[in-house]
Structure 1
Amino acid sequence: MGSDPQLCIGAVIPETGRLARLGDPLSFLLRTLAPHLSQVRNGNRRYTLRIATRDSRSDPAQARQAVRELLEQERAHIVITMAGTKVLPAVTDTCEELQVPCVSTTFPWQAYVYRGATDTRHRFQWTYHFAWGLDDIAIVFAEMWERLGSTQTVGCLWNDDLQGQLLRRGFAPVATERGHTLIDFGGYREPATDLRIHVDHLRRHGADILTSAATTTDLALFHRQAREARWRPRLITCSRWLAYPHHGIPHARDACEELAQARVATLVYWTPSHPYRSSLDGTTAAELAATYQHSTGKRWLQPLGLAHALIEVAHHALASAADPTDRGTIVQAIARTRIHTMAGLLDWTSGPTPNIALVPLIGGQWRPTRHGHELAVVTNTDMPDVPVTADVIPAR
């Protein structure tokens, strides 16, 4: 009697480099779940399943090479990946080029769909993504601003790259429609070395709140130079800084402590309190967070839920494809996927584009504690089942 046919899920993970903290959850889950994912049942057939990983090294060129190795050396049938505004597109573009199914997550869907072109939405055949939109971020941030007053004058600290361009197109109009005035001095180059001209412009134009998508070090630089100029925004909202804890990252620790004291508000897409559970074994969000903390000695972090969902979607695609050894039918399975996961309901049949499934957002604010910092939920409009744990507190 012959052995079962073999399938392979390939994962491109930033195991080293500046994005390594974001890669931790996926690496952990693949190790943890691998023994339970040794087989896939597809109809009446059973397939042996392997998990293969490659390190992107937080570098786009290495990420592209990682995809090629997964295909040539591991014969991967589907690729999953997360993390990095430049690294993730390198993975997905290579998968599109080499015609292998890919599922990704972790940044706004507009950045995924437009990728290198700001004027044209791409229709991809092989690559699929789940996340929130820039418009969703604008709504959540505006709700937090409005806790301090119905309309606000908001200073924008956005870079001069694709990220800043998309924020001006996808975030700004939504915030403006709610009655807020946005002050945008123009983009800055990352990494920033001096943001005093931005500080001075926003202060002179009466900005009372700051919104940004800056890195930890750049936001800390702005915060420090604003304090030196005796300008203190009442609230800082940032979609990029502290979406996850930075414990254990030496170059970011001081900046994180400074910003935690500033009570930066951010987006929330997953917590142990979310009413989600795994489609693989029924594990709840709370149980997943507890297992991660017990096994690693590290605090839970938001990308943990998204990483688990990546594995669920890949497994589901292999289990439901007409022929899971045929990459074309795996893509067709992803396109019709509607599944409850650790990241909530993911539905590729009703997204803003055929390649996108949406993830709801709520608002959070980081608070300093004796043990570092913790994330408090302060708005929950799109997820009323997640309890609000604190009010929005003005920045210090």
Structure 2
Amino acid sequence: MGDRATVCIGVVAPLTGRLAPLGEPLSFVLRHLAPHLKEIRNAGRTFRVRVAVRDSRSEARAARQAVEELARDERAAIVLTMAGTEVLPAVTDACEQAGVPCVSTTFPWQAYGVARSGDAEASFDFTYHFAWGLDDIAHVFADLWEQLPGQPTVGCLWNDGLQGRLLRDERIGFAPAAARRGHQVIDPGAYPEPASDFTAHLNRMRQDRADVVTSAATATDLALFHLQAREAGIRPRLVTCSRWLTYPHTEVAQSQQVHDELAGSRVGTLVYWTPHHPYRSSLDGSSCTQLAQAYEQVTGKPWLQPLGLAHALVEVAHHALATAPDPTDRPAIANTLGKSRINTIVGTLDWSAGPTPNIALIPLAGGQWHPQPHGPRLEVVTNSRTPNVPVTADLVPAY
């Protein structure tokens, strides 16, 4: 190989299809960090770096094919991916089967394990993940509910897919974690995604006097619920929603009707990264504010929370290749990932202290979308678990 061997970083991203908004931050980060990915130094040797990107097309089958191509044709030393309830497990499973180290994010860690093996605490040899837990979401949402006067009754809006099943799980789910905080959680039952009618859910919430709603719905489904609730004279004081609503609804739904319906709804959500987080990139030293500004200047779009996660993915890959005993040896890279503790633009990622050997945790703050003339703006309204992240606004009840 000579003294200038090449290592390949493979990337599986949703460049097309329904998950494409989740692929945009990763595409930007790869362009933004390209000058820092030309080469790495490892134990006195310099290696060229080549980045190979494959489109998952927002489909599990295409995602698996992408991994096969990266492993076989590109000889990728490590694969990076993010996004998709079905797509992310497809990528990570394919990497595990191919013996290619993989780092992923944007998926609660319990869902990561269950979707792949049926066990939230499963261990893997080649695949590593950083995110938060379903219980973390429950606690940060409880922080939001507890800012309201009185003791709210919480109605659940959960689908019949993997996400909904896990949120309900009696051992690892959202519901038991919220109950342990003393909250009454009413679950009217699952709905198919995409949804067509929430009448039964609204009737149950009216019956049980639920004045707060919590969900993991898409923006489109949440807008439908909000419309039907409004027409039925039901006005929740607050809606908390994870998953898609960590993005501005203007970025993940094309329908103007969805935008109009959610424009003033003041949805509360989880916060894992903002321009106000006090961290810096291990690659170029840029702050969170500088990264967000660069994204907005180049794309003309508002910053997105996954921007920080996408940047951290690349930081982790660079660290693994720079510190592994041999950056061309896949098992050596995987072993290095499992021992890694890295300061990144999303904070410290520590796989040696995770709930499983394959997981590094990110703490959550609580946020709320506040209406603005040019679209909703995410404000941090509670930081009990992230005291170094500044609160930027007060929680405002929807009604």
TM over 0.5: yes
Q: How do 1:65-104 and structure 2 match up within 5 A?
A: 65-104=65-104
Indicate which of 380, 383, 393 corresponds to 2:383: 380
| Structure 2 residue identity aligned to 1:341 | T
C-alpha distance 122-253 of structure 1, shift in aligned 2 (>3 A): farther
CA displacement, residues 153-174 of structure 1 (integer Å, 9 cap, x when unaligned)? 1000111122111111221111
Contact 2:122 2:356 in 1 (8 A): no
Cα shift at 1:242: 2.4
Q: How do 1:1-396 and structure 2 match up within 5 A?
A: 2=2, 4-116=4-116, 118=118, 121-149=121-149, 151-169=151-169, 170-247=173-250, 251-396=254-399
In 1, Cα distance between equivalents of 2:162 and 2:296: 35
| Structure 1 residue identity aligned to 2:345 | M
CA displacement, residues 268-315 of structure 1 (integer Å, 9 cap, x when unaligned)? 000000001001111100000011111111111100000000000001
| Structure 2 residue identity aligned to 1:262 | S
In 1, Cα distance between equivalents of 2:242 and 2:391: 19
Cα shift at 1:218: 0.8
C-alpha distance 98-45 of structure 1, shift in aligned 2 (>3 A): same
Cα shift at 1:142: 0.3
Report SS of the residue matched to 1:79: strand
Name the count of aligned residue pairs.
Answer: 396
Cα shift at 1:119: 5.1
Unmatched 5+ stretches in structure 1: none
Cα shift at 1:247: 3.5
RMSD: 1.4
C-alpha distance 161-249 of structure 1, shift in aligned 2 (>3 A): closer
In 1, Cα distance between equivalents of 2:74 and 2:356: 31
In 2, Cα distance between equivalents of 1:294 and 1:2: 41
Contact 2:229 2:235 in 1 (8 A): yes
Contact 1:118 1:165 in 2 (8 A): no
Contact 1:77 1:325 in 2 (8 A): yes
In 2, Cα distance between equivalents of 1:274 and 1:2: 42
Runs of at least 4 residues of structure 1 off by over 6 A?
A: none
Report SS of the residue matched to 1:50: strand
Cα shift at 1:3: 5.3
Contact 2:219 2:253 in 1 (8 A): no
Cα shift at 1:117: 5.1
In 2, Cα distance between equivalents of 1:125 and 1:116: 13
Report SS of the residue matched to 1:114: helix
Identity in percent: 63
In 1, Cα distance between equivalents of 2:210 and 2:118: 28
Cα shift at 1:116: 4.8
Report SS of the residue matched to 1:349: helix
Contact 1:246 1:253 in 2 (8 A): no
Report SS of the residue matched to 1:369: coil
